[in-house]
Amino acid sequence: MDHKELAELLFPDINKTIEDLEREYPERDLAEGARVTRLAPSPTGFIHLGNLFGAMADERMAHQSNGICYLRVEDTDEKREVEGAVPILLDTLSYFGINFDEGACKNGTQESRPSGVDPEGSERGAYGPYWQSARGDIYKVCIKYLVEKGMAYPCFMTEEEIDAIRKEQEAGKINPGIYGKYAKDRDLSLDEIKKRIAEGRSYVIRFKSPGDESRYFTCYDEIRGNISMPENVQDVVILKKNDLPTYHFAHVVDDHFMRTTHVVRGEEWMASLPIHVQLFEAMEWEHPVYVHNTSLMKIDETTGQKRKLSKRKDPELGLSFYKELGYFPEAVREYLMTILCSDFEEWRIANPSADYDEFKFSAEKMSDSGTLFDINKLNDVSKDVLARKTAKEIYDFMLGWAKEFQPEKAKLLEDNKDMLLKVFDIDRGGEKPRKDLIYAGQIFEFVKYFFDEYFVYESEWPAEVSKEDRKEILQRYLESYDPSDDNAAWFEKIRAITADMGYAVKPKDYKKNPESYKGHVGHVSGVVRIAVTGRANSPDLWTIQQILGRERVEERIRRAEEA
Protein backbone atom coordinates (compact mmCIF):
# COMPACT_ATOMS: atom_id res chain seq x y z
CA MET A 1 0.00 0.00 0.00
CA ASP A 2 1.27 3.43 -0.93
CA HIS A 3 0.35 5.42 2.17
CA LYS A 4 1.48 8.67 0.64
CA GLU A 5 -0.94 8.22 -2.21
CA LEU A 6 -3.72 7.39 0.23
CA ALA A 7 -2.93 10.52 2.25
CA GLU A 8 -3.14 12.64 -0.94
CA LEU A 9 -6.38 10.97 -1.91
CA LEU A 10 -7.96 11.71 1.46
CA PHE A 11 -6.54 15.20 2.01
CA PRO A 12 -5.77 16.71 -1.39
CA ASP A 13 -6.09 20.28 -0.12
CA ILE A 14 -3.84 19.95 2.89
CA ASN A 15 -0.43 21.31 1.95
CA LYS A 16 1.01 22.27 5.28
CA THR A 17 3.23 19.87 7.15
CA ILE A 18 3.82 19.13 10.81
CA GLU A 19 7.07 21.10 10.53
CA ASP A 20 5.11 24.14 9.35
CA LEU A 21 2.88 23.88 12.41
CA GLU A 22 5.86 23.43 14.70
CA ARG A 23 7.24 26.68 13.33
CA GLU A 24 3.91 28.47 13.57
CA TYR A 25 3.38 27.40 17.19
CA PRO A 26 6.86 27.34 18.67
CA GLU A 27 7.78 26.42 22.22
CA ARG A 28 6.68 29.22 24.50
CA ASP A 29 9.26 31.62 25.74
CA LEU A 30 8.65 31.19 29.45
CA ALA A 31 10.89 30.91 32.47
CA GLU A 32 12.04 27.50 33.63
CA GLY A 33 9.27 25.76 35.56
CA ALA A 34 6.47 27.98 34.24
CA ARG A 35 3.34 25.95 33.65
CA VAL A 36 0.90 26.28 30.81
CA THR A 37 -2.57 25.07 31.71
CA ARG A 38 -5.95 25.29 30.10
CA LEU A 39 -9.62 24.92 30.73
CA ALA A 40 -11.23 23.09 27.84
CA PRO A 41 -14.98 23.04 28.31
CA SER A 42 -17.65 22.08 25.83
CA PRO A 43 -19.93 25.07 25.32
CA THR A 44 -23.03 23.41 26.75
CA GLY A 45 -24.12 26.47 28.72
CA PHE A 46 -24.01 24.55 31.99
CA ILE A 47 -21.10 25.63 34.18
CA HIS A 48 -20.66 23.52 37.23
CA LEU A 49 -18.60 23.20 40.36
CA GLY A 50 -16.37 20.68 38.61
CA ASN A 51 -15.45 23.32 36.00
CA LEU A 52 -14.58 25.77 38.73
CA PHE A 53 -12.74 23.11 40.71
CA GLY A 54 -10.55 22.35 37.68
CA ALA A 55 -10.22 25.98 36.66
CA MET A 56 -8.96 26.90 40.11
CA ALA A 57 -6.26 24.25 39.87
CA ASP A 58 -5.37 25.46 36.35
CA GLU A 59 -5.29 29.07 37.41
CA ARG A 60 -3.21 28.53 40.54
CA MET A 61 -0.70 26.22 38.84
CA ALA A 62 -0.16 28.66 35.98
CA HIS A 63 -0.06 31.92 37.87
CA GLN A 64 1.94 30.61 40.76
CA SER A 65 4.67 29.58 38.32
CA ASN A 66 4.46 32.72 36.14
CA GLY A 67 2.96 30.64 33.40
CA ILE A 68 -0.14 30.91 31.25
CA CYS A 69 -3.70 29.75 31.79
CA TYR A 70 -5.84 29.79 28.66
CA LEU A 71 -9.37 28.92 27.59
CA ARG A 72 -10.01 26.54 24.72
CA VAL A 73 -13.54 25.89 23.55
CA GLU A 74 -14.18 22.25 22.70
CA ASP A 75 -17.00 22.71 20.26
CA THR A 76 -16.61 19.70 18.02
CA ASP A 77 -19.82 18.14 19.24
CA GLU A 78 -22.42 20.28 17.52
CA LYS A 79 -25.31 18.62 19.32
CA ARG A 80 -24.19 19.87 22.71
CA GLU A 81 -23.47 23.42 21.72
CA VAL A 82 -25.48 26.29 23.19
CA GLU A 83 -25.41 29.77 21.70
CA GLY A 84 -23.85 32.38 23.98
CA ALA A 85 -22.32 29.74 26.23
CA VAL A 86 -18.81 31.17 26.10
CA PRO A 87 -19.59 34.73 27.29
CA ILE A 88 -21.63 33.22 30.13
CA LEU A 89 -18.78 30.91 30.99
CA LEU A 90 -16.25 33.73 31.05
CA ASP A 91 -18.50 35.97 33.10
CA THR A 92 -19.25 33.26 35.59
CA LEU A 93 -15.65 32.18 36.00
CA SER A 94 -14.52 35.77 36.29
CA TYR A 95 -17.13 36.29 39.01
CA PHE A 96 -15.42 33.47 40.87
CA GLY A 97 -12.01 35.05 40.35
CA ILE A 98 -10.78 33.05 37.38
CA ASN A 99 -9.44 35.13 34.50
CA PHE A 100 -7.58 33.70 31.54
CA ASP A 101 -4.42 35.09 30.00
CA GLU A 102 -5.19 33.83 26.56
CA GLY A 103 -7.77 32.01 24.49
CA ALA A 104 -11.44 32.40 23.68
CA CYS A 105 -12.80 35.81 24.67
CA LYS A 106 -16.03 37.24 25.80
CA ASN A 107 -17.35 38.54 22.51
CA GLY A 108 -16.61 35.20 20.93
CA THR A 109 -19.79 33.77 19.50
CA GLN A 110 -20.49 31.10 16.97
CA GLU A 111 -20.63 33.77 14.27
CA SER A 112 -17.44 35.55 15.20
CA ARG A 113 -15.07 32.65 15.40
CA PRO A 114 -11.61 33.13 14.02
CA SER A 115 -12.60 31.39 10.82
CA GLY A 116 -15.46 33.82 10.43
CA VAL A 117 -15.60 37.45 9.50
CA ASP A 118 -14.55 38.93 12.80
CA PRO A 119 -11.45 37.36 14.19
CA GLU A 120 -10.96 40.27 16.61
CA GLY A 121 -12.79 39.99 19.85
CA SER A 122 -13.41 36.29 19.76
CA GLU A 123 -10.02 35.32 21.08
CA ARG A 124 -6.53 36.53 21.90
CA GLY A 125 -3.16 34.84 21.93
CA ALA A 126 -0.67 33.47 19.43
CA TYR A 127 -1.57 29.80 19.76
CA GLY A 128 -5.09 29.87 18.34
CA PRO A 129 -7.58 29.36 16.98
CA TYR A 130 -8.86 28.51 20.44
CA TRP A 131 -12.18 27.24 19.14
CA GLN A 132 -11.73 23.67 18.03
CA SER A 133 -14.29 24.02 15.28
CA ALA A 134 -11.95 26.55 13.65
CA ARG A 135 -8.92 24.24 13.79
CA GLY A 136 -10.05 21.77 11.15
CA ASP A 137 -7.01 22.19 8.93
CA ILE A 138 -4.58 21.81 11.82
CA TYR A 139 -6.10 18.46 12.73
CA LYS A 140 -6.06 17.38 9.12
CA VAL A 141 -2.36 18.14 8.74
CA CYS A 142 -1.76 15.80 11.65
CA ILE A 143 -4.12 13.11 10.44
CA LYS A 144 -2.62 13.27 6.98
CA TYR A 145 0.74 12.68 8.63
CA LEU A 146 -0.57 9.58 10.42
CA VAL A 147 -2.08 8.25 7.19
CA GLU A 148 1.27 8.73 5.47
CA LYS A 149 2.90 6.77 8.27
CA GLY A 150 0.36 3.97 7.85
CA MET A 151 -1.07 4.71 11.28
CA ALA A 152 -4.52 5.94 10.26
CA TYR A 153 -7.02 4.74 7.70
CA PRO A 154 -10.51 5.43 6.37
CA CYS A 155 -13.18 3.18 7.81
CA PHE A 156 -16.42 2.75 5.90
CA MET A 157 -18.26 0.60 8.42
CA THR A 158 -21.90 1.51 8.80
CA GLU A 159 -23.71 2.00 12.09
CA GLU A 160 -25.54 -1.29 11.50
CA GLU A 161 -22.28 -3.17 11.07
CA ILE A 162 -20.85 -1.62 14.22
CA ASP A 163 -24.04 -2.44 16.10
CA ALA A 164 -23.88 -6.02 14.99
CA ILE A 165 -20.27 -6.27 16.19
CA ARG A 166 -21.22 -4.80 19.55
CA LYS A 167 -23.98 -7.36 19.97
CA GLU A 168 -21.66 -10.19 19.03
CA GLN A 169 -19.08 -8.96 21.54
CA GLU A 170 -21.68 -8.58 24.26
CA ALA A 171 -22.99 -12.09 23.67
CA GLY A 172 -19.47 -13.52 23.77
CA LYS A 173 -18.47 -11.32 26.74
CA ILE A 174 -15.60 -9.98 24.67
CA ASN A 175 -14.14 -6.48 25.06
CA PRO A 176 -16.27 -4.10 23.03
CA GLY A 177 -14.92 -1.87 20.29
CA ILE A 178 -13.29 -1.79 16.89
CA TYR A 179 -9.93 -3.50 17.15
CA GLY A 180 -8.07 -6.50 15.79
CA LYS A 181 -10.31 -8.65 13.63
CA TYR A 182 -13.27 -6.33 14.25
CA ALA A 183 -11.44 -3.49 12.54
CA LYS A 184 -12.62 -4.69 9.15
CA ASP A 185 -11.33 -1.81 7.08
CA ARG A 186 -7.88 -1.74 8.62
CA ASP A 187 -6.15 -3.34 5.68
CA LEU A 188 -8.25 -2.36 2.69
CA SER A 189 -6.27 -2.02 -0.52
CA LEU A 190 -5.81 1.40 -2.05
CA ASP A 191 -7.94 0.31 -5.01
CA GLU A 192 -10.76 -0.76 -2.74
CA ILE A 193 -10.60 2.54 -0.87
CA LYS A 194 -10.64 4.49 -4.15
CA LYS A 195 -13.60 2.48 -5.33
CA ARG A 196 -15.61 3.08 -2.17
CA ILE A 197 -14.87 6.78 -2.19
CA ALA A 198 -15.89 6.95 -5.85
CA GLU A 199 -19.16 5.28 -4.88
CA GLY A 200 -19.71 8.14 -2.47
CA ARG A 201 -19.60 5.98 0.64
CA SER A 202 -19.05 7.96 3.80
CA TYR A 203 -16.18 7.19 6.14
CA VAL A 204 -14.42 8.19 9.31
CA ILE A 205 -10.68 8.10 9.90
CA ARG A 206 -9.50 5.63 12.50
CA PHE A 207 -6.18 5.40 14.25
CA LYS A 208 -4.38 2.12 13.54
CA SER A 209 -3.44 1.18 17.06
CA PRO A 210 -0.07 -0.53 17.44
CA GLY A 211 -1.04 -1.62 20.97
CA ASP A 212 -0.93 -5.00 22.63
CA GLU A 213 -3.22 -5.60 25.57
CA SER A 214 -0.75 -7.83 27.34
CA ARG A 215 1.78 -5.02 27.46
CA TYR A 216 1.63 -2.39 30.20
CA PHE A 217 2.86 1.16 30.11
CA THR A 218 3.42 3.61 32.96
CA CYS A 219 2.28 7.17 33.06
CA TYR A 220 2.89 9.75 35.76
CA ASP A 221 -0.10 11.60 37.15
CA GLU A 222 0.69 14.54 39.38
CA ILE A 223 -2.04 13.62 41.86
CA ARG A 224 -1.81 9.85 41.71
CA GLY A 225 1.87 9.25 40.95
CA ASN A 226 2.87 6.53 38.48
CA ILE A 227 -0.05 4.65 37.03
CA SER A 228 0.40 1.42 35.17
CA MET A 229 -2.18 0.45 32.55
CA PRO A 230 -2.51 -2.00 29.64
CA GLU A 231 -1.81 -0.52 26.21
CA ASN A 232 -4.66 0.63 24.04
CA VAL A 233 -5.71 -1.70 21.24
CA GLN A 234 -8.74 0.18 19.95
CA ASP A 235 -8.70 1.69 16.49
CA VAL A 236 -10.42 4.80 17.79
CA VAL A 237 -12.06 7.27 15.46
CA ILE A 238 -9.92 10.38 15.10
CA LEU A 239 -11.84 12.23 12.41
CA LYS A 240 -15.62 12.07 12.45
CA LYS A 241 -18.01 12.13 9.53
CA ASN A 242 -18.66 15.81 10.19
CA ASP A 243 -15.00 16.44 9.36
CA LEU A 244 -14.14 17.33 12.96
CA PRO A 245 -11.83 15.36 15.23
CA THR A 246 -12.88 13.37 18.27
CA TYR A 247 -11.92 14.59 21.74
CA HIS A 248 -9.03 12.09 21.83
CA PHE A 249 -7.31 13.47 18.79
CA ALA A 250 -8.14 17.12 19.37
CA HIS A 251 -6.74 16.89 22.89
CA VAL A 252 -3.44 15.51 21.61
CA VAL A 253 -3.02 18.01 18.79
CA ASP A 254 -4.22 21.06 20.71
CA ASP A 255 -2.29 20.45 23.87
CA HIS A 256 0.81 19.85 21.79
CA PHE A 257 0.56 22.92 19.58
CA MET A 258 -0.77 25.18 22.33
CA ARG A 259 2.22 24.00 24.34
CA THR A 260 0.25 22.94 27.36
CA THR A 261 2.53 21.59 30.07
CA HIS A 262 -0.12 20.30 32.50
CA VAL A 263 -3.53 18.89 31.68
CA VAL A 264 -5.94 19.14 34.60
CA ARG A 265 -9.09 17.22 33.78
CA GLY A 266 -11.76 15.03 35.33
CA GLU A 267 -10.91 11.51 36.41
CA GLU A 268 -13.46 10.17 33.92
CA TRP A 269 -10.72 10.68 31.31
CA MET A 270 -8.31 8.29 33.06
CA ALA A 271 -9.79 5.36 31.18
CA SER A 272 -8.82 6.98 27.87
CA LEU A 273 -5.28 7.72 28.95
CA PRO A 274 -3.88 4.69 27.05
CA ILE A 275 -5.38 6.08 23.84
CA HIS A 276 -3.91 9.53 24.44
CA VAL A 277 -0.45 8.33 25.36
CA GLN A 278 -0.40 6.13 22.26
CA LEU A 279 -1.53 8.98 20.02
CA PHE A 280 1.21 11.21 21.40
CA GLU A 281 3.73 8.46 20.67
CA ALA A 282 2.41 8.01 17.16
CA MET A 283 2.85 11.73 16.57
CA GLU A 284 6.33 11.51 18.15
CA TRP A 285 5.48 14.16 20.68
CA GLU A 286 5.99 14.28 24.40
CA HIS A 287 2.73 14.25 26.29
CA PRO A 288 1.97 16.87 28.95
CA VAL A 289 1.86 16.02 32.64
CA TYR A 290 -1.59 14.73 33.52
CA VAL A 291 -3.47 15.84 36.60
CA HIS A 292 -6.69 13.83 36.86
CA ASN A 293 -8.80 15.37 39.54
CA THR A 294 -11.41 13.57 41.49
CA SER A 295 -15.18 13.87 41.12
CA LEU A 296 -17.31 15.83 43.53
CA MET A 297 -19.52 13.56 45.59
CA LYS A 298 -22.29 14.13 48.07
CA ILE A 299 -24.20 12.08 50.58
CA ASP A 300 -27.57 11.36 49.02
CA GLU A 301 -30.34 12.59 51.34
CA THR A 302 -32.57 9.61 50.72
CA THR A 303 -30.15 6.69 50.53
CA GLY A 304 -27.45 8.02 52.86
CA GLN A 305 -24.93 6.76 50.28
CA LYS A 306 -22.05 8.68 48.74
CA ARG A 307 -22.68 9.45 45.08
CA LYS A 308 -21.46 11.79 42.33
CA LEU A 309 -23.12 15.20 42.16
CA SER A 310 -25.55 15.05 39.30
CA LYS A 311 -26.76 17.77 36.99
CA ARG A 312 -30.25 16.34 37.04
CA LYS A 313 -30.67 15.83 40.77
CA ASP A 314 -28.49 18.49 42.39
CA PRO A 315 -29.11 22.16 41.65
CA GLU A 316 -26.06 22.97 43.79
CA LEU A 317 -23.84 21.52 41.06
CA GLY A 318 -24.43 24.53 38.79
CA LEU A 319 -22.48 27.69 39.53
CA SER A 320 -25.53 29.85 38.85
CA PHE A 321 -27.02 28.39 42.04
CA TYR A 322 -24.42 30.22 44.15
CA LYS A 323 -24.59 33.41 42.14
CA GLU A 324 -28.35 33.63 42.40
CA LEU A 325 -28.42 32.97 46.12
CA GLY A 326 -25.72 35.58 46.54
CA TYR A 327 -22.79 33.59 47.86
CA PHE A 328 -19.65 35.66 47.98
CA PRO A 329 -17.35 34.30 45.25
CA GLU A 330 -14.45 34.13 47.71
CA ALA A 331 -16.51 31.90 49.97
CA VAL A 332 -17.20 29.35 47.23
CA ARG A 333 -13.59 29.48 46.09
CA GLU A 334 -12.26 29.19 49.59
CA TYR A 335 -14.52 26.24 50.29
CA LEU A 336 -13.55 24.46 47.08
CA MET A 337 -9.91 25.02 47.94
CA THR A 338 -10.59 23.46 51.34
CA ILE A 339 -11.87 20.26 49.77
CA LEU A 340 -9.53 20.41 46.77
CA CYS A 341 -6.28 20.60 48.71
CA SER A 342 -5.65 18.66 51.86
CA ASP A 343 -3.35 21.35 53.26
CA PHE A 344 -5.47 24.43 52.61
CA GLU A 345 -7.57 24.40 55.77
CA GLU A 346 -4.52 24.17 57.98
CA TRP A 347 -2.90 27.01 56.08
CA ARG A 348 -6.01 29.14 56.47
CA ILE A 349 -6.10 28.57 60.24
CA ALA A 350 -2.47 29.61 60.47
CA ASN A 351 -3.01 32.60 58.14
CA PRO A 352 -6.55 33.80 58.80
CA SER A 353 -6.27 37.11 56.99
CA ALA A 354 -3.80 36.21 54.23
CA ASP A 355 -4.78 36.60 50.61
CA TYR A 356 -5.89 33.33 49.05
CA ASP A 357 -3.24 33.74 46.35
CA GLU A 358 -0.51 33.43 48.95
CA PHE A 359 -1.36 29.78 49.54
CA LYS A 360 1.14 27.49 47.84
CA PHE A 361 -0.97 25.23 45.70
CA SER A 362 0.38 21.84 44.80
CA ALA A 363 -1.33 19.08 42.87
CA GLU A 364 0.30 16.44 45.07
CA LYS A 365 -1.97 17.61 47.86
CA MET A 366 -5.10 17.19 45.75
CA SER A 367 -7.50 14.43 46.65
CA ASP A 368 -7.41 11.29 44.52
CA SER A 369 -10.75 9.82 45.48
CA GLY A 370 -14.28 11.20 45.55
CA THR A 371 -14.19 14.59 47.23
CA LEU A 372 -17.20 15.12 49.43
CA PHE A 373 -19.14 18.28 48.80
CA ASP A 374 -21.17 19.47 51.78
CA ILE A 375 -23.18 22.64 51.62
CA ASN A 376 -23.19 23.01 55.42
CA LYS A 377 -19.42 23.10 55.37
CA LEU A 378 -19.56 25.68 52.58
CA ASN A 379 -21.83 27.77 54.81
CA ASP A 380 -19.37 27.53 57.70
CA VAL A 381 -16.51 28.63 55.46
CA SER A 382 -18.69 31.44 54.15
CA LYS A 383 -19.39 32.66 57.69
CA ASP A 384 -15.67 32.89 58.32
CA VAL A 385 -15.05 34.68 55.03
CA LEU A 386 -17.82 37.19 55.73
CA ALA A 387 -16.59 37.79 59.26
CA ARG A 388 -13.42 39.19 57.64
CA LYS A 389 -15.33 41.65 55.44
CA THR A 390 -16.20 45.22 56.33
CA ALA A 391 -19.81 46.36 56.66
CA LYS A 392 -19.32 48.42 53.49
CA GLU A 393 -18.08 45.42 51.52
CA ILE A 394 -21.10 43.43 52.60
CA TYR A 395 -23.45 46.27 51.76
CA ASP A 396 -21.94 46.82 48.30
CA PHE A 397 -22.08 43.13 47.50
CA MET A 398 -25.69 42.87 48.68
CA LEU A 399 -26.69 45.80 46.52
CA GLY A 400 -25.02 44.34 43.43
CA TRP A 401 -26.71 41.02 44.05
CA ALA A 402 -30.12 42.60 44.60
CA LYS A 403 -29.86 44.68 41.42
CA GLU A 404 -29.21 41.55 39.41
CA PHE A 405 -31.46 39.00 41.06
CA GLN A 406 -33.97 40.76 43.32
CA PRO A 407 -34.51 44.21 41.82
CA GLU A 408 -37.50 44.90 44.07
CA LYS A 409 -35.13 44.81 47.04
CA ALA A 410 -32.43 46.97 45.48
CA LYS A 411 -34.26 50.25 46.10
CA LEU A 412 -34.89 49.33 49.70
CA LEU A 413 -31.20 48.64 50.15
CA GLU A 414 -30.27 51.91 48.47
CA ASP A 415 -32.73 53.98 50.50
CA ASN A 416 -31.45 52.46 53.74
CA LYS A 417 -27.76 52.50 53.13
CA ASP A 418 -26.78 54.28 56.36
CA MET A 419 -28.96 52.07 58.48
CA LEU A 420 -27.65 48.89 56.85
CA LEU A 421 -24.05 49.91 57.29
CA LYS A 422 -24.77 50.16 61.02
CA VAL A 423 -26.63 46.85 60.98
CA PHE A 424 -23.77 45.02 59.28
CA ASP A 425 -21.38 46.63 61.70
CA ILE A 426 -22.97 45.03 64.78
CA ASP A 427 -20.25 42.98 66.46
CA ARG A 428 -18.00 43.21 63.42
CA GLY A 429 -14.23 43.41 63.89
CA GLY A 430 -12.60 42.63 67.20
CA GLU A 431 -11.50 39.30 68.59
CA LYS A 432 -14.72 37.39 68.17
CA PRO A 433 -16.75 38.77 65.30
CA ARG A 434 -20.31 37.52 64.82
CA LYS A 435 -20.56 34.72 62.32
CA ASP A 436 -24.13 34.67 61.21
CA LEU A 437 -23.97 36.07 57.70
CA ILE A 438 -23.66 33.48 54.92
CA TYR A 439 -24.94 34.70 51.54
CA ALA A 440 -26.88 37.69 50.26
CA GLY A 441 -30.29 35.97 50.20
CA GLN A 442 -29.79 34.72 53.74
CA ILE A 443 -28.40 38.07 54.92
CA PHE A 444 -31.50 39.81 53.67
CA GLU A 445 -33.65 37.35 55.61
CA PHE A 446 -31.42 37.86 58.62
CA VAL A 447 -31.83 41.63 58.71
CA LYS A 448 -35.24 42.09 57.16
CA TYR A 449 -36.94 42.98 60.48
CA PHE A 450 -35.23 46.35 60.20
CA PHE A 451 -37.63 47.10 57.35
CA ASP A 452 -41.20 47.78 58.48
CA GLU A 453 -42.62 46.28 55.31
CA TYR A 454 -40.91 42.95 56.03
CA PHE A 455 -41.49 42.87 59.78
CA VAL A 456 -43.42 39.80 61.02
CA TYR A 457 -43.63 37.93 64.31
CA GLU A 458 -41.59 34.86 63.56
CA SER A 459 -41.22 33.52 67.10
CA GLU A 460 -43.76 32.48 69.71
CA TRP A 461 -44.10 34.70 72.79
CA PRO A 462 -42.40 33.07 75.81
CA ALA A 463 -44.80 30.55 77.38
CA GLU A 464 -43.79 31.65 80.91
CA VAL A 465 -45.35 35.07 80.35
CA SER A 466 -49.16 35.38 80.39
CA LYS A 467 -50.90 37.61 77.88
CA GLU A 468 -51.75 40.14 80.62
CA ASP A 469 -48.16 40.17 81.85
CA ARG A 470 -46.87 40.61 78.32
CA LYS A 471 -49.04 43.70 77.96
CA GLU A 472 -47.90 45.04 81.30
CA ILE A 473 -44.21 44.40 80.53
CA LEU A 474 -44.55 46.30 77.29
CA GLN A 475 -46.45 49.16 78.92
CA ARG A 476 -43.85 49.52 81.64
CA TYR A 477 -41.09 49.22 79.11
CA LEU A 478 -42.59 51.96 76.98
CA GLU A 479 -42.95 54.27 79.98
CA SER A 480 -39.35 53.79 81.05
CA TYR A 481 -37.77 53.66 77.58
CA ASP A 482 -35.17 56.37 77.01
CA PRO A 483 -32.98 56.06 73.92
CA SER A 484 -30.25 58.08 75.61
CA ASP A 485 -29.72 55.26 78.16
CA ASP A 486 -26.53 53.36 77.59
CA ASN A 487 -26.62 49.58 77.34
CA ALA A 488 -26.15 49.08 81.09
CA ALA A 489 -28.77 51.61 82.14
CA TRP A 490 -31.17 50.12 79.63
CA PHE A 491 -30.73 46.63 81.00
CA GLU A 492 -31.09 47.90 84.58
CA LYS A 493 -34.60 49.02 83.66
CA ILE A 494 -35.45 45.58 82.28
CA ARG A 495 -34.27 44.08 85.54
CA ALA A 496 -36.43 46.48 87.53
CA ILE A 497 -39.51 45.45 85.55
CA THR A 498 -38.51 41.82 86.02
CA ALA A 499 -38.26 42.03 89.79
CA ASP A 500 -41.35 44.21 90.14
CA MET A 501 -43.52 41.76 88.29
CA GLY A 502 -42.46 38.63 90.19
CA TYR A 503 -39.89 37.25 87.74
CA ALA A 504 -36.37 36.18 88.75
CA VAL A 505 -33.59 38.64 87.91
CA LYS A 506 -31.14 35.75 87.79
CA PRO A 507 -32.15 32.81 85.60
CA LYS A 508 -30.45 30.37 87.97
CA ASP A 509 -32.70 31.46 90.86
CA TYR A 510 -35.70 30.59 88.75
CA LYS A 511 -34.20 27.23 87.81
CA LYS A 512 -33.59 26.42 91.48
CA ASN A 513 -37.03 27.51 92.68
CA PRO A 514 -39.39 27.57 89.74
CA GLU A 515 -42.42 27.72 91.99
CA SER A 516 -41.28 31.05 93.53
CA TYR A 517 -41.24 32.97 90.25
CA LYS A 518 -43.34 33.34 87.13
CA GLY A 519 -40.21 33.14 84.97
CA HIS A 520 -36.92 35.00 84.69
CA VAL A 521 -35.28 38.04 83.16
CA GLY A 522 -34.69 36.21 79.86
CA HIS A 523 -38.44 35.76 79.44
CA VAL A 524 -39.11 39.40 80.17
CA SER A 525 -36.43 40.68 77.82
CA GLY A 526 -37.63 38.04 75.34
CA VAL A 527 -40.98 39.77 75.18
CA VAL A 528 -39.28 43.07 74.38
CA ARG A 529 -37.02 41.38 71.84
CA ILE A 530 -39.89 39.78 69.97
CA ALA A 531 -41.81 43.05 70.10
CA VAL A 532 -38.91 44.92 68.51
CA THR A 533 -37.50 42.31 66.12
CA GLY A 534 -40.24 39.68 65.75
CA ARG A 535 -37.65 37.10 66.81
CA ALA A 536 -36.59 35.33 69.98
CA ASN A 537 -32.95 35.51 68.84
CA SER A 538 -31.18 38.57 67.52
CA PRO A 539 -27.92 40.43 67.90
CA ASP A 540 -27.65 42.87 70.79
CA LEU A 541 -31.10 44.37 71.36
CA TRP A 542 -29.92 47.71 72.72
CA THR A 543 -27.83 48.26 69.58
CA ILE A 544 -30.73 47.29 67.37
CA GLN A 545 -32.93 49.85 69.08
CA GLN A 546 -30.30 52.55 68.68
CA ILE A 547 -30.31 51.83 64.97
CA LEU A 548 -34.09 51.73 64.67
CA GLY A 549 -34.51 55.00 66.55
CA ARG A 550 -37.02 56.06 69.17
CA GLU A 551 -40.05 56.41 66.96
CA ARG A 552 -39.88 53.00 65.37
CA VAL A 553 -39.09 51.25 68.65
CA GLU A 554 -42.07 52.85 70.36
CA GLU A 555 -44.31 52.06 67.44
CA ARG A 556 -43.30 48.41 67.57
CA ILE A 557 -43.82 48.18 71.32
CA ARG A 558 -47.30 49.66 70.97
CA ARG A 559 -48.11 47.33 68.13
CA ALA A 560 -46.98 44.34 70.21
CA GLU A 561 -49.27 45.33 73.06
CA GLU A 562 -52.12 44.62 70.70
CA ALA A 563 -50.63 41.44 69.24
Q: Specify the residue, 18 or 270, whose C-beta has the smaller distance to ligand GLU.
A: 270
Buried b (16+ CB within 10 A) or exposed e, 251-275: bbbbbbbbbbbbbbbebebbebbbb
How near is the Cβ of 218 to ligand GLU at its closest, in Å?
21
CA angle 169, 175, 181 (to 5 degrees): 70
3-state secondary structure of 483: coil
Residues 6+ apart with CB under 8 A from 319: 47, 48, 49, 51, 52, 92, 96, 332
Q: Specify the residue, 89 or 165, whose C-beta has the smaller distance to ligand GLU.
A: 89
Q: Does 248 bind ligand GLU (CB under 6 A)?
A: no
How near is the Cβ of 456 to ligand GLU at its closest, in Å?
46
**Which stretches within 417-540 are classed as H helix?**
417-425, 440-447, 467-480, 487-500, 507-512, 521-533
Q: Specify the residue, 263 or 413, whose C-beta has the smaller distance to ligand GLU.
A: 263
How near is the Cβ of 411 to ligand GLU at its closest, in Å?
41
Q: Does 288 bind ligand GLU (CB under 6 A)?
A: no
Q: Which long-range contacts (CB under 8 A, 24 or more apart) does 110-117 make?
A: 110/81, 110/83
Cα within 13 Å of Cα(108), Cβ side = 32
How near is the Cβ of 101 to ligand GLU at its closest, in Å?
17
How near is the Cβ of 40 to ligand GLU at its closest, in Å?
4
Q: Output the furthest CA–CA distance in the chain (Å, rounded).
A: 110
Cα within 13 Å of Cα(370), Cβ side = 10
The piece of 166-174, 265-273, 472-480, 532-540 that touches ligand GLU (CB under 6 A) is: 265-273
The piece of 151-159, 186-194, 260-268, 461-469 that touches ligand GLU (CB under 6 A) is: 260-268
How near is the Cβ of 44 to ligand GLU at its closest, in Å?
8
Window 144-173: contact mask with ligand GLU (x via CB under 6 A): ------------------------------
> What secondary structure does DSSP assign to 390-442, as a single string?
-HHHHHHHHHHHHHHH-HHHHHHHHHTHHHHHHHHHTT-SSSS------BHHH
The CA distance from 245 to 310, in Å, is 28
Q: Specify the residue, 252 or 497, whose C-beta has the smaller distance to ligand GLU.
A: 252
Among 5, 8, 30, 42, binds ligand GLU (CB under 6 A): 42
How near is the Cβ of 266 to ligand GLU at its closest, in Å?
6
Residue number with the smallest Cβ distance to ligand GLU: 265
Among 10, 41, 239, 257, binds ligand GLU (CB under 6 A): 41
Size of the site for ligand GLU (CB under 6 A): 9
Among 113, 224, 251, 556, binds ligand GLU (CB under 6 A): 251
The piece of 158-166, 228-236, 258-266, 400-408 that touches ligand GLU (CB under 6 A) is: 258-266
Q: Specify the residue, 89 or 263, whose C-beta has the smaller distance to ligand GLU.
A: 263
Q: Specify the residue, 285 or 347, whose C-beta has the smaller distance to ligand GLU.
A: 285
Q: Does 256 bind ligand GLU (CB under 6 A)?
A: no
How near is the Cβ of 374 to ligand GLU at its closest, in Å?
24
How near is the Cβ of 76 to ligand GLU at its closest, in Å?
9
**For residues 185 and 202, is the Cβ–Cβ distance under 8 A?**
no
Give the other-Cβ count within 10 Å of 89's Cβ.
Answer: 24
Q: In Å, what is the CA distance from 353 to each residue of 40, 97, 350, 359?
A: 33, 18, 9, 12
Give which of 479, 486, 473 is closest to 529, Cα–Cα: 473
How near is the Cβ of 370 to ligand GLU at its closest, in Å?
18
Give the other-Cβ count within 10 Å of 31's Cβ.
Answer: 8
How near is the Cβ of 227 to ligand GLU at its closest, in Å?
17
Give the other-Cβ count within 10 Å of 228's Cβ.
Answer: 8
Q: Does 74 bind ligand GLU (CB under 6 A)?
A: yes
How near is the Cβ of 57 to ligand GLU at its closest, in Å?
11
The CA distance from 473 to 523, in Å, is 10
Among 140, 256, 265, 298, binds ligand GLU (CB under 6 A): 265
Q: Specify the residue, 251 or 323, whose C-beta has the smaller distance to ligand GLU.
A: 251
The CA distance from 29 to 11, in Å, is 33
Q: Does 40 bind ligand GLU (CB under 6 A)?
A: yes
Q: Specify the residue, 258 or 530, whose C-beta has the smaller distance to ligand GLU.
A: 258
Residues 6+ apart with CB under 8 A from 391: 420, 421, 422, 423, 424, 425, 428
Q: Which spans of this chain sit near ligand GLU (rule: CB under 6 A)? A: 40-42, 74, 251, 263, 265-266, 269
